[in-house]
Structure 1
Amino acid sequence: MKELAELFWIFAKMGAVTFGGGYAMLPIIQREIVEKRQWATEAEVMDYYAIGQCTPGIIAVNTSTFIGYKRKGIAGGFTATFGFVFPSLVIITIIAAFLQNFAHISYVAHAFNGIRACVCALILDAVIKLGKKSVIDKWCAVICVVITLLSVFTSLSPVILVVLAAVAGISIKNIQKMQGEKK
């Protein structure tokens, strides 16, 4: 029970201080879960991000579910997920009740502009950190560039992009393996 309470508290703190959606939360999850607590490895969290991107819902919430499940099974998955979304539920409920009364105030509009700019920087930071860990050879770089181009210039679903990247990774490794056996 103590570990479930810790899971709830850690994820509630992360959920309370991260703004800007799932991707903006990734650096905080990385710092708290991998670096501070060693509850998951860098590779595991990257796998959780990938799976979280392919499943319905917010990537950070999905990732919290995976980490909670890893720690304490089904109860841990539910606890971490609820901890992560609980602050948002409370904050959104309060904002929804009062936003219309304050949205026209220029300071509020400027604050939201600043927050959006900060979120872009946080997402870029997460992309750079993940890229350094994920793009480990020239073929990973090729896959990264191709998937980025497909993402930017087409309307393909992220699920399709992840499946294409997985197929490409498997195919490249199989070709390399066959070439290695021929030598």
Structure 2
Amino acid sequence: MQLFWTFLKIGLFSIGGGYAIIPLIQEQVVHQQGWLSEKVFADIITISQMTPGPIAVNTSTFVGMQINGVLGAVVATIGCILGGCVISISLYQFFQQHQESIYVAAALKSLKASSVGLIMSAGFTILLLTFFGTSELSSSLLAHFDWQSALLFGVALVILRKFKPNPIVLMCLAGFIGFLIY
């Protein structure tokens, strides 16, 4: 029940979905509940990005699987999507009734801006976890800098921007190189 309730709260209060939900899941499962370490959570995020489907659902499923096996995966996934489904249906009905309102348009504009901030926060968290092994900002970050990860990231970014290869091929290649390095 605690797993379901945690992911129901995450699903209900995660505006923006996708990458915007990652800091909220991390806060709940790593910091508040203590179910996973930051390293395991970072690994789950990596796997969630590579598997088909929405990253929020994938992350919830993998976290649930790590905590309580297949039953945990099902419970966490249902908890994560249930709130969003109910809210989406309710909002659809509301917007159909108020589609001409300037106030509703202004509220939607502000939600877009906050979603961008949440996505940027998730990206920053992923970079900190990758390069420093933690998502906490501290003065000792440079002591834990993983130059191999930074180099692999930089090379992959340059290759992606300059040569525009198939991203899946690049991810597989980077994964293979990471396997050899680590």
Fold agreement, TM-score > 0.5: yes
Pair 35,110 (structure 1): closer, same or farther in 2 beyond 3 Å:
same
Gaps of 5+ in 2: 132-144
Kept in 2: contact 1:12–1:87 (CA 8 A): yes
Pair 125,77 (structure 1): closer, same or farther in 2 beyond 3 Å:
same
One of 36, 40, 44 as aligned partner of 2:40: 44
How far residue 143 of structure 1 moved from its aligned partner, in angstroms, is: 1.9
- 1:56 to 2:52 alignment: yes
Structure 1 letter corresponding to 2:73: G
| 3-state SS, counterpart of residue 36 of structure 2 | coil
Larger radius of gyration: 1
Within 1, Cα distance between the matches of 2:160 and 2:10?
28
* TM-score normalised over the length of structure 2: 0.83
Within 2, Cα distance between the matches of 1:17 and 1:43?
25
Task: Give the % identical residues.
Answer: 33
* TM-score normalised over the length of structure 1: 0.82
Q: Which one is further off, 118-127 or 78-87? A: 118-127
Question: CA RMSD of the aligned region, Å?
Answer: 2.0
One of 98, 101, 110 as aligned partner of 1:105: 101
Q: Alignment length, in residue pairs? A: 168
Structure 1 letter corresponding to 2:146: D
Runs of 4+ in 1 over 4 A off after TM superposition: 149-153
Gaps of 5+ in 1: 175-183
1:7 corresponding residue in structure 2: 3
Pair 17,109 (structure 1): closer, same or farther in 2 beyond 3 Å:
same
2:122 corresponding residue in structure 1: 126
Pair 112,156 (structure 1): closer, same or farther in 2 beyond 3 Å:
farther
Structure 2 letter corresponding to 1:93: I
Pair 105,151 (structure 1): closer, same or farther in 2 beyond 3 Å:
farther
